[in-house]
Amino acid sequence: MSKGVQIALGAGVCALLLGWYANTVLDEGATLTYYQTLEEFLAAPESAGSRPARVHGFVATGSIDRDVGAKVVRFRVQSQPPHAGVRPGGGLSVEYASLEVPDMFKDGAEVVIEGRLAHTGDARVFHATNLLAKCPSKFEAKLEDRASL
């Protein structure tokens, strides 16, 4: 057997082992999350209910409610930035199981919520275990605003 074949065989066996191990890790489910925009998420509710999801949206203006007693933060997300003129009431209610929110989290912020959808009666509430927020990209926008004064 030539050296090249030996190396290829060795690498193949290692890759298979690694792949098998990766597969068992991933099968436990907790580490795989599906990244979707809010629209995609709402369009596929049956699959959305059963598995952990990572949903991208924007915080609806005035919807943030810190419940210090219950140690949760409730808010709504919508699929467009608030100033884009989306009618209020649309979107999805979120309950985030912590009082610790990212610094960028505020009205209109672009967020990614991680967790699962829960149905209580008619109401659908997304129970988020993790919350990521991005600064609205005001830096670029503001320069143009000011430069055109």
Partner 1 sequence: MSDIGYFALQLALAFSLVGFGWGIYASLDPRPERTRVLERLLLAVSGFTTLAITALFVAFATFDFQLEYVASHSARSMPLHYRLGALWGGQEGSLLLWLFMLCAYGAAAVFVHHRSSRALMPWVCTVLLANCAFFLVLINFTSNPFDKIPTGHVLSDGQGLNPLLQHPAMMIHPLFLYLGFVGFAVPFAFALAALLSGALDASWFRVTRRWTLIPWFFLSIGIILGGRWAYEVLGWGGYWAWDPVENASFMPWLAATAYLHSVMIQEKRDMLKIWNMALIGLTYALCLFGTFLTRSGIVQSVHAFAQTEWFGTIFLSYVLVTSLVFFAALYARRGRLRTPHRIESIASREAGFLINNWVFMAILLVVFWGTLFPVFSEALTGSQITVGPQFFNTMAGPLALFLLFLTGVGPLIAWRRSSLTSLRRQFVWPGIAGLLTAALLPVFGLAGSFYSHVAFSLGAFVMATIAQEYWRAIRVRMRSHAETPLAALGTLLRKNQQRYGGYIIHLGAVFVLLGAAGSAFNEELLQNVAPGDAIELRDYRIEYLTARPIPAQHYGGAVARLALYRRDEPLATMVPEKREYWLEEQPSSVPSIYSTLREDLYVILTAIEPDGSATLKVYCNPLVNWIWIGALAFVVGTAVVVWPHPARTTG
- Cα 84 → chain centroid: 21
Nearer CB in complex with partner 1: 125/133: 133
Please give the C-alpha separations between residue 148 and each of 14, 136, 139, 145, in angstroms, as whole numbers. Answer: 60, 20, 15, 6
Beta bridge partners of 96: 73, 128
Read off the tokens for 32: 């795989």
For partner 1, the binding residue among 34, 61, 107, 125 (CB under 8 A) is 34
Nearer CB in complex with partner 1: 33/63: 33
The verdict on 16 binding partner 1 (CB under 8 A) reads no
Q: What are phi and psi of 14, to 5 degrees?
A: -60, -45
The verdict on 2 binding partner 1 (CB under 8 A) reads no
Residues that bind partner 1 (CB under 8 A): 10, 14-15, 18, 21-22, 25-26, 30-36, 40, 54, 66, 68, 71, 98-101, 103-104, 106, 112, 132, 135, 137-140, 142-143, 146-149
